[in-house]
A and B are shown apart, each in its own frame.
Chain A
Amino acid sequence: QKEVEQNSGPLSVPEGAIASLNCTYSDRVSQSFFWYRQYSGKSPELIMSIYSNGDKEDGRFTAQLNKASQYVSLLIRDSQPSDSATYLCAVKDANFNKFYFGSGTKLNVKP
């Protein structure tokens, strides 16, 4: 059984700070990694996807992948109160179109 682990939080950061969200996974052959944002009462929204080791930037978001350490992270720069949500890490099975989700990290950005 593939495992995707996230700290449930809540992670509290002041407005304007960098929020760092972390995720570890158990399957060494996983190749595709995704971050979703989920507001309370809403469905998950895809923020970032990353497939290669290193950093991938999109606006205020940076995803970081380290396959050797089986670790993926999401940095949110200049955090805003509107970023307050639960962030879900997802790992796609290398052989099947099956996604494994972590339990999510709740982020609170305080004005």
Chain B
Amino acid sequence: KAGVTQTPRYLIKTRGQQVTLSCSPISGHRSVSWYQQTPGQGLQFLFEYFSETQRNKGNFPGRFSGRQFSNSRSEMNVSTLELGDSALYLCASSLTDRVWNEQYFGPGTRLTVT
């Protein structure tokens, strides 16, 4: 079974631009979560989608948004990029939202903002 895929893998953008990252979960998984990972802050939760609905949201500004499609694929968008947005963005998928749910990560998209 194929794992979580993320595109693009690497991205270089300029301050003020916007970016869209894509995530395809493991086949059959309905939940997709997004994380930002930086050396200083570790893994920070951005948001989680389940059946096209955002159910959880972390403490990030409104410049960070996301959505999920009917096939469970998800996108996240960052508008008006800032230097501090440079990070590894990770997508993780889960089969359901049950207590025993395991979460599997994709390879990540490394975003560099110059």
Q: How many residues of B contact A (CB 8 A)?
A: 26
A47 to B55 CA separation, bound complex (whole angstroms): 26
In this complex, the member of B55, B99, B100 whose beta carbon has the largest number of chain A beta carbons within 10 angstroms is: B99
B43: contacting residue among A31, A32, A34, A101, CB under 8 A: A101
B42: contacting residue among A46, A97, A98, A103, CB under 8 A: A103
A31 to B88 CA separation, bound complex (whole angstroms): 28
A99 to B32 CA separation, bound complex (whole angstroms): 12
- Nearest Cβ distance between residue A32 and chain B, in whole angstroms? 5
CB contacts (< 8 Å) of B56 on chain A: these are 96-98
- Nearest Cβ distance between residue B88 and chain A, in whole angstroms? 8
A46: contacting residue among B45, B55, B90, B104, CB under 8 A: B104
B-contacting residues, A67-107, CB 8 Å = 88, 90, 92, 94, 96-104
Stretch touching chain A among B62-70, B78-86, B105-113: B105-113
- Nearest Cβ distance between residue B9 and chain A, in whole angstroms? 11
Residue of B nearest to A99 (CB): B103
Residue of B nearest to A90 (CB): B103
A94 to B98 CA separation, bound complex (whole angstroms): 9
Q: A97-B56, A98-B48, A98-B56 are in contact. Are A43 and B42 (CB under 8 A)?
A: no
A99: contacting residue among B45, B50, B88, B106, CB under 8 A: B45
- Nearest Cβ distance between residue B112 and chain A, in whole angstroms? 14
Contact in complex: A32, B99 (CB < 8 Å): yes
Contact in complex: A97, B50 (CB < 8 Å): yes
CB contacts (< 8 Å) of A49 on chain B: these are 100, 102
Which positions in A face B, CB cutoff 8 Å? 31-32, 34, 36, 42-46, 49, 51, 88, 90, 92, 94, 96-104
